[in-house]
Amino acid sequence: MNWLLEPFQYGFMLRGLLASLLVGVLCAVMGTYVVVRGMAFLGDAMAHAILPGVAVSYLLGANLLVGALVAAIVVALGIGFFSKGGMVKEDTAIGILFAAALALGVAMISSINTYAVDLSHILFGDVLGVSSGDLWLTGGLGLVVLLVVAINFKQFMVISFDPVLAATLRLPAKFLRNLMLVLLAVTVVISLQTVGVGLSVAMLITPAATAYLLTRRLFSMMVISALIGAVSSLIGLYASFFFNIVSGSAIVLTATFIFIIVFLFNPRKGILVSGQ
Amino acid sequence: MDNESLNEPARLEINNISVGYGNVPVLQDVSFDVQHGSRIAIVGPNGAGKSTLFKALVGLLPLMEGEIYIHSLPLGHHLDCVAYVPQRGEVDWKFPATVADVVMMGRFGKMGWLAAPKRKDWDVVHKSLNQMGIEDLANKHISDLSGGQQQRVFLARALAQQPHIFLMDEPFTGVDSTTQEATLYLLDHLQEEMVTVLISTHDLNLAATRFDNILLLNRRIYGYGKASEIFTTDILSKAFGSHVLAIEDASLLVDDCCPPGDEHDEHKEGH
């Protein structure tokens, strides 16, 4: 049993574990909406769009998470602004803004002399570099996101399944949609620490997509997804410690492995189970 | 139905409304009144604006001009008294939900923002499922349903809303005979409950035999009244144009139902 506890005698490993679990659960919960609403592209775009915010806060010496959060929310609202009224399709608006923000971010970071190390941390995460300040911020934001989801669970379900019913029920659909985008932005920013810009979309969609294969009700999908997210984070972190792999990659590969297993063997329509 | 709904006149007044997408009106200068508990069939060629009218009635599309009054109050003052049964294609049937989950959504307007479904809500849900003959499907996932069953789930959900005004968009299009029967049975039931019903349909026989009034629509109103007054060669030719073939005293109308790219698709880019 000792080897199980061995990694966590170090403070940075324990902080890393807590951050990974939090990100695993949070991404999986918001990822449920991403999967059922078909917003994977938006989630990916948001992760990349964070870059200029990170660069600006780096230049100003401010907290990177705060800068990232501001950038993500600006981009989320910008997508809404350009696609409003049907002049530009939503996925087109996403593509334009996401590429522009990424280009701006890379341009800014490339002008910073010591960029090399930091850029790789932003792109692929640096779970062992989580400070206790980061952990408190992550934990606080994470709790807020989960609380908002719990409060609006029914309403989010209706706007995701049937926007027309939402209008008939006089739900504030526009407000709820924007709220969901902001929650998604916060989640992506938090995931920056453990899996980085490049891989955060995987933490959003892989556990949720796996859960979708196992259940067909929104709430249980969310719970199973959160469980898979947490387990992937835990196993991934161990793999990262013992095999000396980048933590973000290890976590994402674990989640992918679980997805493949469930895809092949799930009782509903697993390929190997039904014998097709 | 609760008692208040019976005392209140479920009267719908539409005054000179113009509605459309962006700045382009689809419907212009439309006015009509609907009496408490009456049944109206809305007919007209594809692209006539039947779905647009429904979307205006539930507040999905803003009015460019005119007013809509429900129980003499402007649209939006009665929070949940209008139920709308959209065409089945408008939602993603792979959404993770059971039949009972979807029907329960109809109750959300009557529940608090945070409240979980109570015993009474479940009772209404099961009664609605029962009325549509799909109680045995309650725990089935919605992706496992046939088209007709999907339609009945939508009808049950609208019933669970306990509305005063019931709008149905093409409920007879592309459904099996069981669903058609269930829908007709529902119409009778709604009449007993004094619920006002508006449906759009391409089935002119059904419109003539099962409804109190016909609203003939093609971007504007071409006629509103009893089937015998509306279904004349003269009025139909004006609304349907070349689709009406006049043969001496009789006339033949070919109202094709929903070819690919009908009115619902044409306006999609405007959303």
CATH number of domain containing A92: 1.10.3470.10
Q: What is the ipTM of this complex?
A: 0.85
What is residue A114's three-state secondary structure? coil
Residues of chain B whose pLDDT is less than 50? 1-6, 10, 259-271
- Cα separation, A216 vs A227, whole angstroms: 16
Number of domains, chain A: 1
Chain A contact for B83, CB < 8 A? Answer: yes
pLDDT bin (cut points 50, 70, 90) of residue A68 is confident
Place of tokens 């208040």: B4
Residue A27: predicted pLDDT? 95
Chain A contact for B62, CB < 8 A? Answer: no
Chain A: give the shortest CA distance to residue B217, in Å. Answer: 23
Whether pLDDT at A229 is above 60: yes
Residue B247: predicted pLDDT? 63
Chain B: give the shortest CA distance to residue A209, in Å. Answer: 11
Whether pLDDT at A22 is above 60: yes
C-alpha torsion A128→A130→A132→A133, nearest 10: 170
- Cα separation, B171 vs B41, whole angstroms: 11
- pTM value? 0.85
C-alpha torsion B62→B68→B70→B75, nearest 10: 30
Residue B255: predicted pLDDT? 65
Report yes or no: B19 and B26 within 8 Å, Cβ to Cβ.
Answer: yes
CA atoms within a 13 Å half-sphere pointing along the CA-CB vector of A186: 22
Q: What would the two tokens of residue B17 be?
A: 């409304």
Condensed to tens digits (0 to 9), the pLDDT of residues A128-169 reads: 888 888 899 889 999 999 999 999 999 999 999 998 898 888
Give percent of chain A above pLDDT 90: 38
| Contact yes or no for B60 and A216 at CB 8 A | no
Chain A's closest residue to B77, CA to CA, is: A170
- Chain A CB contacts of B86 below 8 Å: 162, 164
| Contact yes or no for A162 and B97 at CB 8 A | no
Chain B's closest residue to A163, CA to CA, is: B91
- Chain A CB contacts of B269 below 8 Å: 86
Chain A's closest residue to B89, CA to CA, is: A162
> Taking Cα atoms as reference points, which of B75, B77, B58, B78 lies closest to residue B13?
B75
Report yes or no: A10 and A18 within 8 Å, Cβ to Cβ.
Answer: no
HEC profile for chain B? CCHHHHHCCCCEEEEEEEEEECCEEEEEEEEEEECCCCEEEEECCCCCCHHHHHHHHCCCCCEEEEEEEECCEECCCCCCCEEEECCHHHCCCCCCCEHHHHHHHCCHHHCCCCCCCCHHHHHHHHHHHHHCCCHHHCCCEHHHCCHHHHHHHHHHHHHHCCCCEEEEECCCCCCCHHHHHHHHHHHHHHHHCCCEEEEECCCHHHHHHHCCEEEEEECEEEEEECHHHHCCHHHHHHHHHHHEEEECCEEEECCCCCCCCCHHHHCHHHC
For A132, other C-beta atoms within 10 Å of its C-beta total 11
- Residue A246's domain spans which residues? 2-274
| Contact yes or no for A170 and B22 at CB 8 A | no
Chain A contact for B108, CB < 8 A? Answer: yes
Report yes or no: B213 and B199 within 8 Å, Cβ to Cβ.
Answer: no
Burial of A147 (0-12, 13-18, 19+ CB in 10 A): exposed
Place of tokens 């100003």: A60
CATH numbers and ranges of domains, chain B: 3-81+163-270 (3.40.50.300)
Condensed to tens digits (0 to 9), the pLDDT of residues B12-31 reads: 889 899 998 878 889 999 99
* A interface with B, Cβ–Cβ below 8 Å: 36, 38, 85-86, 151-152, 154-155, 157-158, 160-162, 164-165, 167-171, 212, 215-218, 221
Chain A contact for B74, CB < 8 A? Answer: no
How far out from the chain centre does Cα B173 lie?
12
Report yes or no: B155 and B182 within 8 Å, Cβ to Cβ.
Answer: yes
